[in-house]
């Protein structure tokens, strides 16, 4: 049994569905929601089936019945909460990006190792059936050697200058804008799919709306990027392009990655998340082309836990898959990824790209 403390709003459905749809070696017991506002914490606890709600984080961390702490708060508190939980010997799941800085991420990863507890980062896109299949195909050599990657994450919720300011538009609380919010997902997913590690990056960023309404009749300065693009060189010779924006009008949540290898290519788009486009040079010359694999049959990753073949899963199911894999790894003592070392690797790429955008030149990614 895993007693679980839950921070913030995200991930609640995963805990509600995990025991129901996955044959886990131990139950996940949603214990307590911790929040800054007692009323809102109580509402979240009732909605997602947690036993209680509180504003007293210290008391929760002292509770020996709590095994796992899920940090789903704004970026500036990830390090402090996760560190406090790790020091108490709790297992930790943390939202992305792992921290505000490389130094914070490094300290979190080191502490997790020192305390010998299990940790993970909520890069849930690794666990769509189609992306997990893509990783399997690349690992077994279906595409040959990976040569080129292009990754885009396009949203439009900040396209209007009337969209209000929030913690996501402040460097102090978010660290960066679309870069840490969206490029973090792309960086992690490319690492997960291809096994490639970043060598150097060259970035450019832009903030199109400098001030936003603050909700009190005034305005707040925006000091993070609205859009951030960067080029990448990978160790081993592959190259890549990355583009993240929250001002692409008409794009609600287009998270799309294409991988080109020496023998084939594949492409995945979150907006059609159950499909994987694949090109392999087989068959007659006049019938070659990309084909669409519907990744919802029993032979595909995770799909057998849900509905009959061909029936679709959605965004929320990737969180259930993530949690189920974490619980199994916790029980069996097997590796789980992404862990805090993976979160640190992403943080290093984010930081190097930010440095490049400021300095106007290529920046090396630290090993």
pTM beyond 0.85:
yes
User: 324 pLDDT exceeds 80?
Assistant: yes
> Are 218 and 328 in a shared domain?
yes
Quick check: 168 and 177 in contact, CB under 8 A?
yes
For 38-47, what is the mean pLDDT? Answer: 90
Range of the domain at 77: 2-122
Final residue in a domain of this structure, among 87, 103, 122: 122
> Are 211 and 79 in a shared domain?
no
> Are 195 and 255 in a shared domain?
yes
> Are 112 and 131 in a shared domain?
no
CATH of the domain at 242: 3.30.360.10
In terms of Cβ atoms closer than 10 Å to its own Cβ (0-12, 13-18, 19+), residue 158 is buried
Within 13 Å, how many C-alpha atoms sit on residue 162's CB side? 0
Q: Quote the pLDDT of residue 3.
A: 45
What confidence tier does 26 reach under pLDDT thresholds 50, 70, 90? confident
For 127-153, what is the mean pLDDT? Answer: 98
What confidence tier does 6 reach under pLDDT thresholds 50, 70, 90? low
Q: Quote the pLDDT of residue 271.
A: 97
CATH of the domain at 55: 3.40.50.720
Mean pLDDT over all residues of the chain? 94
> Are 136 and 186 in a shared domain?
yes
Residue 294 CA to residue 311 CA, distance in Å, equals 9
For 262-278, what is the mean pLDDT? Answer: 98
The total of structural domains in the chain comes to: 2
For 43-72, what is the mean pLDDT? Answer: 92
pLDDT digits (tens, 9 = 90+) for 155-197: 999 999 999 999 999 999 999 999 999 999 999 999 999 999 9
For 350-367, what is the mean pLDDT? Answer: 97
Percent of the residues in the chain that have a pLDDT greater than 70, as a whole number: 97
Angle subtended by helix axes 78-87 and 102-115, to nearest 10 = 10
What confidence tier does 10 reach under pLDDT thresholds 50, 70, 90? low
User: 71 pLDDT exceeds 80?
Assistant: yes
């Amino acid at each position: 049994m895993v007693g679980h403390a839950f921070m913030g709003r995200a991930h609640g459905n995963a805990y509600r569905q995990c025991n129901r749809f996955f044959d886990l070696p131990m139950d996940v017991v949603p214990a307590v929601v911790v929040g800054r506002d007692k009323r809102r914490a109580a509402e979240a606890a009732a909605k997602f089936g947690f036993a209680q709600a509180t504003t007293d984080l210290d008391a929760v961390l002292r509770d020996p019945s709590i095994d796992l702490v899920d940090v789903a708060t704004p970026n500036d508190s990830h390090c402090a909460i996760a560190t406090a939980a790790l020091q108490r010997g709790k297992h930790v799941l943390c939202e992305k990006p792992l921290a505000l800085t490389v130094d914070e991420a490094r300290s979190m990863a080191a502490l997790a190792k020192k305390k010998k507890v299990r940790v993970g980062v909520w890069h849930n896109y690794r666990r769509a059936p189609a992306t997990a299949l893509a990783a399997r195909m690349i690992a077994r050599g279906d595409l040959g050697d990976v040569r080129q990657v292009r990754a885009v994450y396009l949203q439009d919720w900040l396209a209007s200058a009337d969209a209000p300011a929030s913690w996501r538009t402040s460097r102090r609380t978010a660290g960066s804008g679309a870069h840490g919010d969206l490029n973090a997902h792309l960086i992690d997913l490319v690492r997960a799919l291809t096994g490639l590690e970043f060598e150097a990056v060259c970035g450019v960023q832009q903030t199109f709306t400098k001030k936003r309404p603050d909700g009190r009749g005034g305005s707040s300065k925006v000091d993070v990027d609205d859009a951030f693009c960067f080029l990448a060189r990978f160790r081993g010779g592959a190259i890549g392009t990355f583009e993240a924006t929250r001002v692409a009008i008409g794009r609600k949540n287009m998270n799309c990655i294409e991988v080109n290898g020496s023998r084939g290519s594949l492409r995945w788009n979150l907006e059609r998340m159950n499909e994987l486009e694949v090109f392999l040079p087989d068959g007659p010359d006049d019938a070659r082309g990309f084909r669409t694999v519907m990744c919802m049959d029993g032979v595909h990753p995770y799909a057998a836990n849900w509905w009959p073949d061909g029936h679709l899963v959605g965004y929320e199911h990737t969180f259930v898959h993530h949690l189920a894999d974490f619980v199994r790894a916790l029980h069996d003592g097997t590796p789980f990824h992404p862990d805090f070392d993976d979160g640190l690797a992403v943080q290093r790429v984010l930081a190097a790209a930010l440095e490049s955008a400021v300095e106007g030149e290529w920046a090396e990614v630290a090993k």
